């Protein structure tokens, strides 16, 4: 299995010994040894992935990197966070997934109003299995715990990913002060309940509700 390690927080080094990883297309910045690069269709899921992602409006372009040596990946100087999966599922925005062990299975899942609120469609990417994945965030990602009887509410513009036995729902934070422009601006919120982790970034992306 490939070995993932961070280099300065904004560059991911992956040591390969004949195995492979999937990575965001165009994210390779350097490598040593012998490497081959192959663009994958349908987010790495073949023809089924092409059809699914076109129907859902969820986009992800990836490449397979295979060989002997070390390959370095980065994306627009974004911060990188490593997540280890042990048979569980990671839910992540497609643009926030930098790389993953080739043995991990990717797919799409329905997110409902959360995706609509972010302007990213109604579906998001899933990563399942055993291995490591690398997440991208605008600023160092913060990992927040969701515990039973302690739900977590997140601004959709700051959401990056989540994992564990977590349920999510959409709620409106709009008040009269928000509508007249005197509120905090966070009219759209995501509520997480259950037991797991939520990854958020300290910089909010623009959503269909505006800069929330």
Tokens representing residue 29 in the block: 């910045």
Question: Residues of 177-194 as b/e, b for ≥16 C-beta within 10 angstroms?
Answer: eeeeeeeebbbbbbebbe
Q: Where are the alpha helices (DSSP H) in 46-86?
A: 46-56
Distance CA 82, CA 38 (A): 23
pLDDT value of position 206: 55
Partners of 163 in the beta sheet? Answer: 90, 197
- What is the pTM assigned to this prediction? 0.80
pLDDT value of position 144: 97
Distance CA 12, CA 26 (A): 14
Q: With contact defined as beta carbons under 8 Å apart, do 141 and 169 qualify?
A: no
Distance CA 86, CA 159 (A): 22
Point out the residues of the chain with pLDDT beneath 70: 42-60, 111-123, 173-187, 205-212
Cα first-last separation, the chain: 40
Question: What confidence tens digit (pLDDT) does each residue in 16-40 have?
Answer: 999 999 999 999 999 999 999 998 8
pLDDT value of position 164: 94
């Amino acid at each position: 299995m490939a070995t993932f390690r961070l280099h300065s927080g904004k560059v991911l080094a992956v040591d390969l010994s004949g195995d492979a990883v999937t990575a965001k297309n165009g994210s390779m910045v350097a490598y040593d040894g012998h490497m081959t690069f192959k663009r994958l269709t349908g987010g790495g899921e073949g023809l089924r992935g092409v059809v699914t992602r076109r129907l859902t409006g969820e986009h992800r372009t990836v490449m397979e990197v295979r060989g002997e040596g070390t390959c370095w990946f980065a994306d627009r100087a974004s911060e990188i966070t490593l997540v280890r999966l042990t048979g569980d599922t990671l839910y992540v925005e497609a643009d926030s997934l930098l790389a993953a062990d080739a043995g991990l299975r990717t797919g799409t899942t329905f997110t409902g109003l959360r995706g609509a609120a972010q302007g990213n469609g109604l579906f998001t990417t899933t990563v399942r299995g055993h291995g490591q994945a690398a997440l991208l965030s605008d600023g160092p990602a913060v990992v927040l715990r969701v515990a039973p009887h302690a739900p977590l509410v997140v601004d959709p513009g700051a959401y990056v990913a989540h994992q564990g036995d977590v349920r999510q729902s959409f709620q409106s934070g709009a008040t009269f002060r928000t509508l007249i422009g005197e509120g905090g601006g966070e009219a759209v919120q995501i509520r997480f309940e259950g037991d797991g982790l939520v990854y958020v970034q300290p910089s909010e992306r623009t959503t269909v509700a505006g800069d929330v």
